[in-house]
Amino acid sequence: MLPSALEKAVYGVYATTAIHLADKHGVFGFLVDQAAPTAEIADKLGLDGETLDRLLVLLDSFGVIDRNEDGAYLVTPEMAPYLDPRSPRSVGGFLSHVMGSTIGRLPHLDGYLTDGKSAVDAALPAPFEVMYKTPKLTEEFLAAMWELTYDVSRELVPMAGLDQVGHLVDVGGASGPFCVAALEATPGLRATVYELPEVEPYVADTVEKFGLQGRLDFAAGDFHRDEFPATDCVAFGYILSGWTDETGLELLQKAYRACSDGGRVLIMDRLFDDDRRGPLPTAVMNLSMHVEAKGRHRTSAEFIGLLEAAGFVDCEVHRSTQDKQLVIGHKR
Ligand SMILES: C[S@@+](CC[C@H](N)C(=O)[O-])C[C@H]1O[C@@H](n2cnc3c(N)ncnc32)[C@H](O)[C@@H]1O
């Protein structure tokens, strides 16, 4: 028998697949509402009973779902916020992205080890050319970003000092999860999502859905080429972790130029512990950034070093209860 940590790591690929499929076919949504045996779930959801049974046995063994003494499977209240597709903390969108996109890029690591990342990437399309290749992929990616960002943003917004800000530019703000959380909590604030042109219709949908006409708008731009709109506050959510220190510094210097005096920059990202031995999701996504982008995850001290190099002062670190943390830099 393998030691427990190794066992979970080795067999994790099967659990990831099973969680993704159970989410995709509505199994978790069904089990959040009632406990049921395999045959009933298969019947109600129109799924093959034999395959479903093997997936459920595996998910029970991993402790993802539970089974009662009558042999009915259930989602415990502890797991429901993460498995219920209606919950803002559901892992479903993230896993769709992992299984639909990231998994196809992981085999590149082999070539990275032997030939180096730049040699392998030279023959590949740029990451966002792939992610925005079809409307389905675009929608899946933006849904995953919404899930990763909206809920935690409601924790980060009160720490960001937005009551001192009139206008916010969210660079690479996706379909607007951070902006919406900021606008909901801060009367009088206006926000702009600065994004690739492909994202504009999704921001328009967000404006419509949340009734944010006149408060949330869109600015098309390429952050590698263009300057940012003038503002009091520039936000980067899961952006700097996609890029090298050199590009990160260029982006922060653009933010400095865009910011009014007394303005601020918000870096919202995963943080490595100071010794870079965890947390585990940061270590995992640090590898993911290597195949999906050109970046890496950083410690708070590394972010502060970049902020200070760009001219920001009085940097602050604020932590949420989730994976995304906040580092603020101020412009004098
Ligand atoms: C990892 S997502 C982060 C989304 C969002 N900020 C969040 O925290 O959930 C990176 C975003 O950057 C945008 N992006 C990528 N390259 C860009 C570029 N060159 N110019 C502007 N936006 C870009 C993508 O469209 C995507 O929405």
pLDDT tens digits for range 169-214: 999 999 999 999 999 999 999 999 999 999 999 999 999 999 999 9
Phi, psi angles (nearest 5°) of residue 110: -60, -50
Taking a C-beta distance cutoff of 8 angstroms, is the pair 21, 55 a contact?
A: yes
How remote is the CA of residue 327 from the centroid of ligand 1, in Å?
Answer: 18
Above 80 in pLDDT, residue 127? no
Q: Which pLDDT band, with edges at 50, 70 and 90, does 131 fall under?
A: confident
Examine domains 4-82 and 148-330 and report if their fold is the same: no
pLDDT tens digits for range 257-283: 999 999 999 999 999 999 999 999 999
Best probe residue, ligand 1, of 97, 101, 128 (max atoms within 8 Å of C-beta): 128
Average pLDDT over residues 105-112: 96
Q: Which of 34-38, 130-134, 139-143 has the highest mean pLDDT?
A: 34-38
Structure tokens at 212: 């944010």
Above 90 in pLDDT, residue 133? no
Distances (CA, A) of 172 to 1, 120, 169, 329: 46, 26, 9, 18
Q: Where are the domains of the chain?
A: 4-82, 148-330
Question: Does any ligand 1 atom lie closer than 6 A to the CB of residue 239?
Answer: yes
How remote is the CA of residue 135 from the centroid of ligand 1, in Å?
Answer: 16
Taking a C-beta distance cutoff of 8 angstroms, is the pair 28, 84 a contact?
A: yes
Question: Does any ligand 1 atom lie closer than 6 A to the CB of residue 149?
Answer: yes
Tokens 């830099």 belong to 329
b/e burial code for range 227-249 (CB count within 10 A of at least 16 → b)? ebeebbbbbbbbbbbbbeeebbb
Q: Please give the number of the atom of ligand 1 that sits closest to the Cα of 222.
A: 20
Q: Please give the number of the atom of ligand 1 that sits closest to the Cα of 226.
A: 20
Above 80 in pLDDT, residue 21? yes
**CATH number 3.30.590.10 given to 148-330:** no
- 3-state DSSP assignment of residue 222: coil
Structure confidence at residue 114 (pLDDT): 98
Structure confidence at residue 249 (pLDDT): 98
Cβ neighbours for 66, distance < 8 A, ≥ 6 positions apart: 60, 73, 74, 75, 76
CATH topology of domain 4-82: Arc Repressor Mutant, subunit A (1.10.10)
Structure confidence at residue 132 (pLDDT): 85
Q: Bridge-partner residues for 219, per DSSP?
A: 194
Structure confidence at residue 197 (pLDDT): 95
Provide the percentage of residues in the chain whose pLDDT is more than 90.
89
